Structure 1
């Protein structure tokens, strides 16, 4: 087991500054690096710290960052989810890490969960300087996920999303929707999402619990599944059979499209279970085994 340091990292991305934590194991050799960010509407201090610590202890460097508009990063309106901006933040962080002399830039791994899992797959299909990808319960097909949204609430959600989008064009304050709600309109209205999402929130770090509604349209249209055939690096893909946000059929089809480069696992859990207890431990051991097989510690 390696000891490690955690250093603050600030990187310019467009007009904004991205805040990150750089976990560096104490080793004589330049370590491989894992780049990580959270899924929809989450700060880096929520549940990814536990993963970063375990990877660093195993000898891998980790860069864990907040998207612009979130956490320690700059940008307004706060807590805006912009798929294009977040993908650009990923590209910025990857480019920054490639240029750092303290790590082995030939061994860069992308790690994503839920929405950021979709980003990691997208970027692996696009970029040539990524050596491996690890995704857990990734968001792979917004069109199919939208079919799990309660039909009677969908028109209301689309209406407020459109209002927020048009209002932003003329400088109006954002119209927001809760990420989860027991009974009201929200982004994740499924039965297990309320408790599941709140189980990953870190109460030591404030955020409002709501995000601008305009991203709802873009989430429905976001389909990483369409690009994954271009991936030609090893991919670890962990899906949940009881996922109420991501249809298991979408995960299976995505994995089939990545073959023969994918190592696919399907576990009998719900979407948020992987951050806790036995499922977290199983995920970590599976991910470390994959890393040792394809990347290795010098």
Structure 2
């Protein structure tokens, strides 16, 4: 009864409640093993909640061929806004592993294979806690010190998590993080809010905030969350409104995702998002940073990436590509585009030979990927 009272019956685009699917068996989640790397599922805790991750380990043959006489460096990675590890991270991770880099690709609490409730709560504070928990687990020997070298640890993020890796590197410092790769990073809330007002107008924004407030109150009362679309077309009640062209890219046929992923996010995230501006922390970064930005990106504009690189100083580099936001991530795993990223990691971490050819055919072109 309380749930019905606290609903907004006039909002037909709001979804109330979301369950986690733990019964569907998905083939793409199974362990992998080939001549270049293996992939297994591992777990670590973040604030007493179990998080799931994929561990990519270069094969003995890969290490022998590349003369890796010691445990390889490790790249810790997670997806961007409202996304999870089985939504386009594999094409990146497999090429890193085929080049001799170990990879830990994890899901945030409430996403994918990780525990946590509410599901799909895009909370940047919790995300940063999960990043720190993943790093500390690796450094404490969670993957085994003979299998990875935790003293040579890199962070990789895209879009929202591109901002996360910058903040994590700034807060943890150079003793724990050695290199950062930030792809089309989210950097400034003020710019995002201004863009929302300009593109949608005051009334649609007020509508979204009303739903967010309703969801916040529902949370305080212990009621199921109110969800809005993560992405949608212009005019829809959605966190991100994309052009028809970009919507066509992300709505291609895709397999079912772990945990029963749906194109939804808790509406309450809108209330806290305005306080998150990673660009304010980049001055504190003391390790090499490589950013990749799209010159046609309207979501995470290249101008902010240029400013962030300038503020970090000579330790930072910027690669600009002629792509929009979704398109940039989709093409980022193309071997010719990923090669300079691997070269950067090789240069900064040492002990890695560039060989970005994956063990099998790339599968990312058919996957739905959000930032």
The answer to whether structure 1 residue 19 and structure 2 residue 52 are counterparts is yes
Structure 1 residue 68: Cα displacement: 0.6
What runs of 5+ residues in structure 2 fail to find an aligned partner?
Answer: 1-33, 64-68, 353-371
Q: 2:282 aligns with which of 202, 219, 228?
A: 228
- Corresponding residue of 1:252: 306
- Equivalent runs, 1:84-233 vs 2, <5 Å: 84-100=125-141, 101=145, 102-128=147-173, 129-149=176-196, 150-152=199-201, 153-182=204-233, 183-191=235-243, 192-198=245-251, 202-205=254-257, 206-233=260-287
Give aligned pairs, total: 297
Structure 1 residue 196: Cα displacement: 4.2
Compare CA radii of gyration and give the structure with the larger one.
2
Structure 1 residue 74: Cα displacement: 0.3
Structure 1 segments of 4+ aligned residues over 6 angstroms from their partners:
none
Inter-partner Cα distance in structure 2 for 1:158 and 1:294? 44
Q: Are the equivalent residues in 1 in contact too, given 2:92–2:333 (CA < 8 A)?
A: no
TM-score, normalized by length of structure 1? 0.94
Give CA deviations for 1:80-139 in whole Å, capped at 9, x if unaligned: 111111111111110011122121111000000000010000011111310000011010
Q: Higher RCO, 1 or 2 (CA under 8 Å, sep at least 6)? A: 2
Inter-partner Cα distance in structure 2 for 1:291 and 1:228? 19
What runs of 5+ residues in structure 1 fail to find an aligned partner?
Answer: none
Alignment root-mean-square deviation, CA:
1.9
- Corresponding residue of 2:359: none
Structure 1 residue 279: Cα displacement: 6.9
Structure 1 residue 221: Cα displacement: 2.0
Deviation larger for 86-95 or 271-280: 271-280
CA 259–41 in structure 1, closer or farther in 2 if over 3 Å, else same: same
Q: Are the equivalent residues in 2 in contact too, given 1:255–1:262 (CA < 8 A)?
A: yes
